[in-house]
């Protein structure tokens, strides 16, 4: 575990420390095919299905963290994705979606890691940051691609609609201020960075498992 003695705000150190693994996620084969509009709508639906299990775990952790003096600062009802994901899956999979979807092995491993890491506030924040800050940033690139090339604008892509957060840049700045002000010493900050890298790697593992079926998902 690396101990950082970095003068930058913690949010800047966290972002800089995850740039490499962010690129790995961004340029993963499945993400490139999705952004390259090479997939069928079903190929996109497979990702939405996996997100249902992943956000189920993160938002259960949010419920558990709500009263925590540190983790509670990172519980935002306006970010909750499950209600939108449920509407998306009803549209993309059909009314019986609950009985037809299942998590990949990589998704189950990711869900276990979220549960384990969310037993400490920094671990919860690491997984929260990785997903939600990503969704309100790069996720909007995916949203535009879905609207333009997958004929999925409203129902089916509501996961990418963050209508309740107001200005996304302001929301991100407020989120970064919370990261900077969280009462973590250098060792704890280093632990949060390490767990954030793990969170990214968990996402890459899900994308890579989806990529093993790319031929099936191609448009
Ligand atoms: C689909 C491909 C993706 C694109 C095009 C993309 C693009 C971006 C962009 C443009 C930003 C804003 C950078 C900035 O403000 O300087 C960003 C931030 C971020 N992305 Fe991605 N991203 C992608 C995938 C992902 C994935 C898969 C994850 C997580 C698993 C992720 C997590 C993040 C996080 C946590 C941030 C916030 C960094 C910070 O401000 O501290 N991104 N992304």
Tokens found for residue 75: 């519980």
- Report residue 33's pLDDT band, with 50, 70 and 90 as the boundaries: very high
- Ligand 1 pocket (Cβ < 6 Å) reads 11, 15, 22, 25-26, 31, 35, 129-130, 133-134, 137-138, 141-142, 172, 200, 203
Segment 15-21 shows an average pLDDT of 98
- The pTM (predicted TM-score) of the whole model is 0.95
Residues composing the chain: 219
Can you give the pLDDT at residue 5? 56
153 falls in which pLDDT band (50, 70, 90)?
A: confident
Pocket of ligand 1, candidates 138, 142, 144: which has the most ligand atoms within 8 Å of its Cβ, to mutate? 138
Give me the CATH code for the 19-214 domain, please: 1.20.910.10
Q: Token pair 């002000």 is at which residue? A: 181
Checking if the pLDDT of 4 tops 90, the result is no
- For residue 196, report the distance from its CA to the centre of ligand 1, in Å: 13
Closest CA to 83 of 150, 159, 29: 159
Identify which of 11, 13, 22 to mutate to test ligand 1's pocket (most ligand atoms within 8 A of the CB): 22
- Predicted confidence (pLDDT) at residue 99 exceeds the cutoff of 80: yes
Name the nearest CA neighbour of 74 among 128, 127, 134, 10. Answer: 128
């Amino acid at each position: 575990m690396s101990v950082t003695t970095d003068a930058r705000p913690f949010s800047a150190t966290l972002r800089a420390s995850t740039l490499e693994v962010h690129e790995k996620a961004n340029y993963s084969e499945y993400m490139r095919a999705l952004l390259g509009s090479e997939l069928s709508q079903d190929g996109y639906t497979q990702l939405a299905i996996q997100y249902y299990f992943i956000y189920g775990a993160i938002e259960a952790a949010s419920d558990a963290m709500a009263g925590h003096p540190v983790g509670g600062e990172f519980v935002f009802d306006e970010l909750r994705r499950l209600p939108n994901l449920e509407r998306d899956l009803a549209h993309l999979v059909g009314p019986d979606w609950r009985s037809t979807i299942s998590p990949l092995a990589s998704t189950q491993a990711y869900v276990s890691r979220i549960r384990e890491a969310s037993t400490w506030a920094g671990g919860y924040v690491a997984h929260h940051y990785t997903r939600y800050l990503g969704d309100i940033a790069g996720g909007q690139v995916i949203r535009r691609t879905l609207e333009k090339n997958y004929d999925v604008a409203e129902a089916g892509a509501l996961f990418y609609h963050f209508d309740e957060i107001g200005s996304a840049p302001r929301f991100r700045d407020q989120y970064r201020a919370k990261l900077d002000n969280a009462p973590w010493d250098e060792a704890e900050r280093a632990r949060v960075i390490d767990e954030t890298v793990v969170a990214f790697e968990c996402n890459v593992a899900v994308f890579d498992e989806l990529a093993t079926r790319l031929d099936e998902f191609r448009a």
